[in-house]
């Protein structure tokens, strides 16, 4: 089948023709695909970029059709997802390392890139030589060749196809954003917001992916990671027995690190970066996220375990043990040994030290950011360096 043009209707039709399937699982999907394609058309002025975007979009649509067909072919809907554990926090607040350590729990299970990139057929039915594994490995080798700085600011991706995706990748085929993990071949700048989202629908898809990846495997609890702070109502509606460990870092450090990371990836993806514009965009996003955290009715929910970033870095085993104790989940000696082994064998600077400066924020923005991390009554938010108000209550 020839590749269709970068056109929403053509891509939807091509996916159906390629698979012989027609159920995308959501009648509103074509509208979201249309908006994403419009963004891609504006961002990809050359034929090469549009071709890459069309290939990626078609692949996502085919995977979505196959996922829904598998739910008709196998009793996947019967899979029960019980007490999943989630790591969350602001970007650049240690959640990826935390996820990596949770993933070495011998009684837990984590998603893997090779599973979520192409979840059909169910990964539990896969043989050791399933071609999706080699495909995902090569995918990451190509991505790292294109963006070599990624391994400096995100060394965990050296796990290649066996690496640990964020939860957001589990609903990539809902077209909620144009993030770098999926869209790096398009030579566009990162666009993590701006497209319409339906949080409830995203978590329904998320649960479907967990059921898909759990099917035909021994039952274990899931250990996952995503930026769930603004979506807690939908998360707890889908997983009322979920437990969350939430890391909190000095907001200025987190913001500066985030701006540096996004700027470097933008530069490698598109060939240029406007640092002032990038800083403005991500400062605004960070402020909005902090205010949403302060206003969240779930801030003191007992299902959420808040921890300081500095405490986590100082003693990961004790912090994770405290989370498991709060969840009433056994923290085994084997798990503790696995954490220590992972830390010894995977230094965070193994590809070079990631560097950033508060100068990326600027003095005026730094003062504004600090004010934005305080509530209307002047109390510091959970992102405060000391986090006195929130954590002293625990």
Helix (H, G, I), strand (E, B) or coil at 46: coil
Which stretch of DSSP H or E encloses residue 233?
A: helix 232-238
Range in 261-270, 296-305, 321-330, 342-351 the model is least confident about? 261-270
Which residues does 319 contact at the CB level (< 8 Å), separation at least 6? 307, 311, 312
Residue 91: CB atoms within 10 A of its CB come to 19
Contact 69, 205 (CB under 8 A): no
Residue 270 and residue 123 in one domain: yes
3-state secondary structure of 227: coil
Name which of 241-245, 275-279, 377-381 the model is least confident about.
Answer: 377-381
Per the structure, how many domains does the chain have? 2
Taking 80 as the threshold, does the pLDDT of residue 276 lie above it? yes
* For residue 92, pLDDT beyond 70: yes
Cα(201)–Cα(235) distance, integer angstroms: 10
Contact 112, 223 (CB under 8 A): no
Domain containing residue 40: 1-73
3-state DSSP assignment of residue 62: helix
Q: What is the pLDDT of residues 176-203, one digit of tens each?
A: 888 889 998 988 877 666 678 889 999 9
Residues 137 and 228 reside in one and the same domain: yes
Mean local confidence (pLDDT), 68-92: 97
Neighbours of 9 (CB within 10 A): 13
Measure the CA–CA gap between 328 and 57, rounded to whole angstroms: 42
Question: Domain holding 150: CATH number?
Answer: 3.40.50.300
Do 203 and 310 fall into the same domain?
A: yes
Check residues 392 and 208 and name the one with the higher pLDDT. Answer: 208
Tell which of 49, 73, 97 closes a domain.
Answer: 73
Task: Report pLDDT for 390.
Answer: 38
Question: Does residue 180 contact residue 190 with C-beta atoms inside 8 Å?
Answer: yes
Q: What is the CA radius of gyration of the chain?
A: 21
User: Which of 73, 94, 123 corresponds to the end of one domain?
Assistant: 73
90 and 4, same domain (yes or no): no
CA geometry: angle at 119 spanning 106 and 181, to 5°?
85
* CA 4 and chain centroid, separation: 29
Q: Which band of pLDDT confidence, cut at 50, 70 and 90, is reported for residue 385? A: very low
Using pLDDT thresholds of 50, 70 and 90, give the confidence band for residue 372. very low
Q: What is the pLDDT of residue 363?
A: 60
């Amino acid at each position: 089948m020839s590749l269709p043009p970068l056109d929403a209707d053509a891509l939807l039709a091509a996916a159906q023709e390629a698979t012989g399937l027609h159920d995308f699982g959501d009648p509103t999907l074509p509208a979201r695909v249309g908006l994403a394609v419009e963004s891609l058309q504006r961002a990809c002025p050359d034929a090469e970029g549009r071709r890459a975007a069309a290939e990626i979009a078609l692949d996502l649509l085919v995977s979505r059709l196959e996922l829904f067909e598998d739910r008709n072919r196998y009793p996947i809907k019967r899979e029960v997802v019980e007490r999943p554990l989630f790591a969350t926090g602001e970007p650049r607040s240690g959640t990826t390392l935390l996820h990596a350590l949770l993933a070495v729990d011998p009684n837990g299970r984590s998603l893997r890139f090779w599973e979520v990139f192409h979840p059909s057929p169910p990964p539990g039915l896969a043989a050791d030589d399933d071609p999706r594994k080699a495909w995902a490995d090569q995918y990451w080798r190509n991505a790292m060749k294109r963006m070599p700085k990624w391994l400096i600011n995100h060394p965990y991706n050296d796990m290649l196809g066996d690496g640990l995706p964020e939860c957001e990748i589990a609903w990539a085929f809902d077209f909620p954003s144009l993030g770098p993990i999926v869209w790096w071949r398009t030579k566009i700048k990162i666009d993590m917001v701006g497209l319409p989202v339906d949080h409830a629908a995203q978590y329904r898809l998320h649960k479907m992916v967990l059921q898909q990846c759990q099917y035909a495997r021994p039952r274990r609890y899931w250990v996952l990671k995503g930026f769930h702070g603004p979506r807690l109502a939908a998360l707890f509606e889908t997983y009322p027995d979920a437990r969350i460990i939430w890391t909190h870092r000095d907001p200025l450090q987190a913001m500066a690190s985030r701006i540096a990371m996004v700027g470097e990836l933008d530069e490698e993806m598109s060939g240029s970066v406007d640092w002032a514009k990038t800083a403005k965009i991500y400062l605004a996003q960070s402020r909005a996220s902090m205010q949403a955290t302060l206003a969240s009715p779930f801030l003191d929910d007992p299902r959420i375990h808040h921890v300081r970033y500095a405490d986590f870095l100082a003693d990961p085993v004790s912090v994770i043990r405290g989370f498991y104790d709060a969840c009433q989940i056994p923290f085994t000696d084997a798990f503790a040994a696995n954490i220590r082994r992972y830390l010894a064998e995977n230094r965070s600077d193994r590809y070079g030290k990631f560097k950033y400066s508060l100068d990326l924020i600027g003095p005026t923005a730094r003062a504004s950011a600090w004010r934005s991390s305080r509530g209307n009554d002047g109390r510091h938010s959970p992102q405060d360096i000391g986090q006195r108000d929130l954590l002293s209550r625990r």
